[in-house]
Amino acid sequence: PDLFEAPDYYNIDELLTEEHKLVRDAAREWVKRDVSPIIEDYAQKAEFPEQIIGGLAEIGAFGPYIPEEYGGAGLDQISYGLIMQEIERGDSGVRSTASVQSSLVMYPIWKYGTEEQRQKYLPKLASGEWMGCFGLTEPDHGSNPGGMVTNFKNMGDHYLLNGAKMWISNAPFAQVAVVWAKNEEGRIHGLIVERGMEGFSTPETHNKWSLRASATGELIFDNVKVPKENLLPNKSGLGAPLGCLDSARYGIAWGAIGAAMDCYDTALRYSKERTQFGKPIGQFQLQQKKLAEMITEITKAQVLTWRLGVLRNDGKATSAQISMAKRNNVDMAINIAREARQMLGGMGITGEYSIMRHSMNLESVITYEGTHDIHLLITGLDITGLNAFK
Ligand code: TGC
Ligand code: FAD
């Protein structure tokens, strides 16, 4: 009964199975107990709370849809989405850690790796014993990852990896990095790089105003000898990392709803408690307009995302459909965070409430995994057949 009462204006719950609701409620309870009470402090300190790793594993946040034989939770795409929604209601940075581990590290090992690689890495990543990171972005190649310069050479009994990645979530503490690099023919491949390999370092990125409870860093490869068995053999080309992004972007579309719900819920409560000019501020039409628009946008995003989940479960969702949901929902959430913050007046800028933290976090979420504008151009390409990137 004391669980967070999520906005559900169109009875979306009726579209969920008992399993979906159980998975969601377990995640919701854990976020309330283990994340919400501490996360503001960690964000203020700009530290990732490592003590929550075990809890993330327990609620199935590491590999929700990875088969149980590899330690994953074996759930469907809607359960995966609901877990991301609940985590991001707590904090986008915590959801980032889960997204990276599941969709950007476990997913490529599961989909593109050998059976030996799956057995070696997936169970340890699912339990959180090992944490992973994903190196695609480079200092000079963000939106255009196909231009990457990180490269590896075949040295006979091993590969020699050189280059650098930037803005990498989980990098400072990850044991395992899935790194995208070009071979001598310029073809992109994924390599599993492990902490401790000579010439591999992960300096932390400081002074972020956003996603402060998530650790971000660089990956630097200075003649790193990578064993040949660490190459992911079953897919190459830019489509390989982009396939991982499809899965992560889908999770972000759900996650953003969680952040928006928390901002809406906070502003709604505040509007009934805070009195000015002798009335609760929620009685003023201008404040009602903000709240009414927020719940409308959240509801539209919920319906969009649930439908996308059904398409994903059927294996029918296109990359462009995922782009639309990521773009729409993050934009929805960032606008709600901004309006909700104003509704709290001065209190809105403090860490007493979660809204300012969500607002700042969402500046990263609207940028990573493809910026707002890149996703618009993906929709543009899909509907016109004309490519703005070429
Ligand atoms: P383009 O020529 O269009 O495509 C190259 C090949 O990839 C295929 N493809 C996809 N495959 C699977 N999923 C997708 N979403 C795909 N999009 C394209 C495509 O069919 C082609 O295959 P093939 O076989 O013909 O070679 O590539 P392009 O160079 O024109 O670039 C297209 C563009 C701009 C859309 C793409 O590069 C892009 O999405 N850019 C944004 C980069 C990005 O999202 N980076 C994210 C880095 S990771 C991150 O941010 C993690 S944040 C941490 C957290 O999640 O919390
Ligand atoms: P740029 O690509 O330089 O873009 C700058 C601006 O130009 C943007 O507004 C963009 O929309 C616009 N632009 C670019 N191309 C076009 C175009 N063709 N038409 C119109 N406008 C265009 N990456 C990883 O690989 N792994 C991670 O774990 C990871 N984690 C991250 C964590 C954080 C906190 C952040 C902030 C980023 C992370 N990223 C990660 C990187 C992220 O994916 C990139 O920042 C993002 O893809 C944008 O690249 P960029 O920053 O180089 O911006």
pLDDT confidence of residue 208:
98
**Marked catalytic residue, from 86, 138, 297, 369:** 369
Contact criterion met (CB below 8 Å) for 65 and 77: yes
- Ligand 2, closest atom to CA 171? 28
Q: Residue 145 Cα, ligand 1 centroid: separation in angstroms?
A: 7
Indicate the top mutation candidate among 141, 185, 214, 242 to test ligand 1's pocket, ranked by most ligand atoms within 8 A of CB. 242
Q: What is the average pLDDT across 57-61?
A: 98
The greatest distance separating any two alpha carbons of the chain, rounded to the nearest whole angstrom, comes to 80
Residue 278 Rama label (left phi>0; alpha psi -120 to 50; beta): left
Per-residue pLDDT for 2 more than 60? no
Ligand 1 binding site (Cβ under 6 Å of any ligand atom):
96, 99-100, 134, 136-137, 143, 145-146, 169, 237-239, 242-243, 245-246, 248, 319, 368-370, 374, 378, 389
**How far apart, in whole angstroms, are the C-alpha atoms of residue 261 and residue 295?**
8
Q: Residue 367 Cα, ligand 2 centroid: separation in angstroms?
A: 6
361 lines ligand 2 (CB under 6 A): no
**How far apart, in whole angstroms, are the C-alpha atoms of residue 341 and residue 267?**
8
Query: To the nearest 5 percent, what fractions of the chain are helix, strand and coil?
Result: 55, 15, 30
Which ligand has its closest atom nearest to the C-alpha of 212?
2
Average pLDDT, the chain: 97
Per-residue pLDDT for 50 more than 70? yes
Exposure string (b/e) for 319-346, b if CB count within 10 Å is 16 or more? bebbbbbbbbbbbbbbbbbbbbbebbee
- Ligand 1, closest atom to CA 95? 56
pLDDT confidence of residue 355:
98
pLDDT band at 3 (very low <50, low <70, confident <90, very high): low
Q: Tell me what percent of the residues of the chain surpass a pLDDT of 90.
A: 98
pLDDT band at 1 (very low <50, low <70, confident <90, very high): very low
pLDDT confidence of residue 87:
98
Q: Residue 248 Cα, ligand 2 centroid: separation in angstroms?
A: 15
Cα atoms found within 13 Å of the Cα of residue 38, Cβ hemisphere only: 14
Tell me whether residue 19 is one of the annotated catalytic residues: no
Name the amino acid, one letter, at 34: D
- Ligand 1, closest atom to CA 144? 37
Is the pTM higher than 0.90? The answer reads yes
Q: Residue 189 Cα, ligand 1 centroid: separation in angstroms?
A: 14
User: How does pLDDT run across 69-113, given as a tens digit for each residue?
Assistant: 999 999 999 999 999 999 999 999 999 999 999 999 999 999 999
User: How much is the ipTM here?
Assistant: 0.98
Residue from 127, 209, 140 nearest 175 by CA: 127
pLDDT confidence of residue 272:
97
User: How does pLDDT run across 318-332, given as a tens digit for each residue?
Assistant: 999 999 999 999 999
User: How does pLDDT run across 258-271, given as a tens digit for each residue?
Assistant: 999 999 999 999 99
